[in-house]
Structure 1
């Protein structure tokens, strides 16, 4: 029974897809709602369908575009999932192409403008675009223009972004239910997830924009304070209480500055996975020698721990390395990093020693820019350094080092 395979929302979308001659089907909305699962299956359906169309036209080797943010993401989100589910083995040639059901599937990244040149010139019988909001608009438009084979269709899945995003304005908002079909998913639409899981996701997702996007599938901008779940009564900790914590790891985040504040933050991680801001050094109008001196003091006290640095000043990172520091370019993914820090506040997994100064100045002034969808570039220096440390620590695989 199809109802054993798909949720009611997925099943409605599947029935539409196999019974209508649309051009673009956009499944968008909250995470973990089955958008990609459905599109992966429809991708296989589309390959069989266009093979029949092409054969009737005498086209022996029809081409199809499969695009993701990059080839690694495409492999994780689509190909490995299909291999695990159906046991399909994909055999690539040197041009990142594979044959399936008699169709030549051409794999591309879509998040960089240099992906554009790889797509030009081909005739495709369709396209499947994974993580649509991550695509460069020019690359997306080129893929669309390549879908000129008879009966070509496009499958797109994506999580929400800001409501001014071109995918939302130019396609989702213009969906007519015929040429363009857009289907929005909320977490509660996934009836295969347990109520316990859904409740846990709701309780641990940061308030505001992240909740609206990740739980309700809404295309919204952030407004007000970035860290809406920060609670001074809950998240500050005294030096005395800090002495009782069993730390298993120390890391440092570095945000370079001059006219605006530069910041070095030392964080400890306890045996339960909770982070603590132990020390902040935030100053204006200081040269690299000052920051090097501060970093070396931390190394002398805590050992050769990692310094996750803002990559905007590569000469500073290089100088740290030349002087024996474990300086590493930070993972600066803005929204993903902010979401992780916000989640830690929501779960009481990040505590701040209460004698900080610059952090106190920033935390309630660190707000969203409603035009760009990112934080305002003010009162963000210590906040950025914390984000660099936490997010890179969790996405870099560094070694735990005790003092």
Structure 2
């Protein structure tokens, strides 16, 4: 090794947790997988083990590092590896320019690959690999992982991978971790948040407070649990539905889920003096048996009229008007009618996680007049068919208001997240 065994050992003892050190020492199988909670130390441990392997890897094969995208791989793994405060002298052994398709580690050429769709397997087809590092393995297409295994043909080839837990029916869990035949060629190192003994206790408390329900089980406890039942099971209508609103200090956003044939639903969100977010009012138009579909111009005009006369508040113009990104022509209509729309951040699971955390920490409340949204908060459920297929998705029914709420909050989080009251 370029660094002495004594120096490496001392560095590990000073910077790494006992769980990390034990996993690095035991990573000697064809597949070595670190899985579990966020911030638990699994990525750093897996990256160190990878760095220990690279100089020893067979020169008869190629080395690859893989993430969902090259940008995410750089952010999650390569950038920390290049930080001497985290990896000491090893950081000097990496030469990489963000966005590049290759790196040099200990002088070895390492291909840097993004694998975000089923076509990605073509990027490694035909390779003979001596080693691979995989970031967030559950986010890779299953066919890519299968192809990667067939490419590990050089003598002593190994895979080093990390991931957060997902559904217990996800292919990585069901077909590899839980399969006795596959497991025989694997070492799996499970981590929980509390395994990282070097974290600031205040940060640990923040992470625990910032995850609720399904997300707490996965991202704090490191459990592979299914998304099932009510999505917002932490919503407490006895305390989080209000009849009287505090003073609104900032009008944050309107979230709009536009429907040409489905209902159009808009929700107005404000930040109040008590440092909570409030859904102050809603606007909804649904075609009924006796009503007609609205043109985009008519739907836009009705939203403007609603914002001109919000009950209890009069004319309101929030900082953001956030619209479903698929409704491009409706955005143009809103712009013509004097609003300045923004395409919503439509990362569904991250949006659901954000709303869940706000509810769990009593940082989000809803005015009782938002009747349609409140109906959806109770009926919004995980799709059981999606769970059987190994991925998380909400059931696509009665979701127009909750989608609008997700747009309004997820897209604007940088505006309000540091102004909220602390979780109890």
For residues 385 and 213 of structure 1, the distance between their equivalents in structure 2, rounded to whole angstroms, comes to 26
For residues 95 and 200 of structure 1, the distance between their equivalents in structure 2, rounded to whole angstroms, comes to 35
For residues 210 and 204 of structure 1, the distance between their equivalents in structure 2, rounded to whole angstroms, comes to 9
For residues 349 and 317 of structure 1, the distance between their equivalents in structure 2, rounded to whole angstroms, comes to 29
**CA deviation vs aligned residue, 1:346-388 (integer Å, no higher than 9, x gap):** 1111111121210222111112223313222222111111001
- What is the deviation of 1:313? 3.0
Greater CA drift, 267-276 or 226-235: 267-276
For residues 120 and 273 of structure 1, the distance between their equivalents in structure 2, rounded to whole angstroms, comes to 53
Question: Which residue in 1 is equivalent to 2:279?
Answer: 277
SS of the residue corresponding to residue 279 of structure 1 reads strand
SS of the residue corresponding to residue 184 of structure 1 reads strand
Question: Which residue in 2 is equivalent to 1:290?
Answer: 298
Indicate yes or no: 2:211 matched with 1:192. Answer: no
After superposition, residues 106-255 of structure 1 pair within 5 angstroms as: 106-174=111-179, 178-207=184-213, 209-238=214-243, 241-242=244-245, 244-255=246-257
Question: Which residue in 2 is equivalent to 1:335?
Answer: 349
- What is the deviation of 1:322? 4.1
SS of the residue corresponding to residue 298 of structure 2 reads helix
For residues 126 and 140 of structure 2, the distance between their equivalents in structure 1, rounded to whole angstroms, comes to 19
For residues 307 and 93 of structure 1, the distance between their equivalents in structure 2, rounded to whole angstroms, comes to 33
For residues 274 and 212 of structure 1, the distance between their equivalents in structure 2, rounded to whole angstroms, comes to 25
**Residues 153, 183 of structure 1: alpha-carbon distance in 2 compared, 3 angstrom cutoff:** same
Greater CA drift, 111-120 or 156-165: 111-120
- What is the deviation of 1:105? 0.9
Contact 2:248–2:270 (CA under 8 A) maintained in structure 1: no
Question: Which residue in 1 is equivalent to 2:102?
Answer: 97
For residues 326 and 136 of structure 1, the distance between their equivalents in structure 2, rounded to whole angstroms, comes to 38
For residues 396 and 70 of structure 1, the distance between their equivalents in structure 2, rounded to whole angstroms, comes to 27
Question: Which residue in 1 is equivalent to 2:23?
Answer: 13
- Name structure 2 gaps, 5 residues minimum: 1-9, 288-292, 309-314, 387-391, 420-424
Question: Which residue in 1 is equivalent to 2:409?
Answer: 390
SS of the residue corresponding to residue 192 of structure 1 reads coil
For residues 133 and 112 of structure 2, the distance between their equivalents in structure 1, rounded to whole angstroms, comes to 10
Contact 1:299–1:305 (CA under 8 A) maintained in structure 2: no
Indicate yes or no: 2:24 matched with 1:31. Answer: no
SS of the residue corresponding to residue 125 of structure 1 reads strand
Indicate yes or no: 2:376 matched with 1:378. Answer: no
- What is the deviation of 1:338? 0.5
- What is the deviation of 1:397? 10
For residues 92 and 223 of structure 1, the distance between their equivalents in structure 2, rounded to whole angstroms, comes to 42
For residues 82 and 98 of structure 2, the distance between their equivalents in structure 1, rounded to whole angstroms, comes to 18
**CA deviation vs aligned residue, 1:302-324 (integer Å, no higher than 9, x gap):** 33742211123333233333444
SS of the residue corresponding to residue 28 of structure 1 reads strand
For residues 246 and 265 of structure 1, the distance between their equivalents in structure 2, rounded to whole angstroms, comes to 15
Q: Give the length in aligned residue pairs.
A: 384
CA RMSD between the two structures: 2.6
For residues 397 and 110 of structure 1, the distance between their equivalents in structure 2, rounded to whole angstroms, comes to 33
Question: Which residue in 2 is equivalent to 1:42?
Answer: 49
- Name structure 1 gaps, 5 residues minimum: none
For residues 227 and 254 of structure 1, the distance between their equivalents in structure 2, rounded to whole angstroms, comes to 20
Question: Which residue in 2 is equivalent to 1:364?
Answer: 378
Contact 2:263–2:285 (CA under 8 A) maintained in structure 1: yes
TM-score when scaled to structure 1? Answer: 0.87
Question: Which residue in 2 is equivalent to 1:70?
Answer: 69
For residues 131 and 363 of structure 1, the distance between their equivalents in structure 2, rounded to whole angstroms, comes to 31
**CA deviation vs aligned residue, 1:59-92 (integer Å, no higher than 9, x gap):** 5xx5211111111111110111112234435244
Greater CA drift, 312-321 or 182-191: 312-321
For residues 311 and 193 of structure 1, the distance between their equivalents in structure 2, rounded to whole angstroms, comes to 38
For residues 22 and 135 of structure 2, the distance between their equivalents in structure 1, rounded to whole angstroms, comes to 20
TM-score when scaled to structure 2? Answer: 0.83
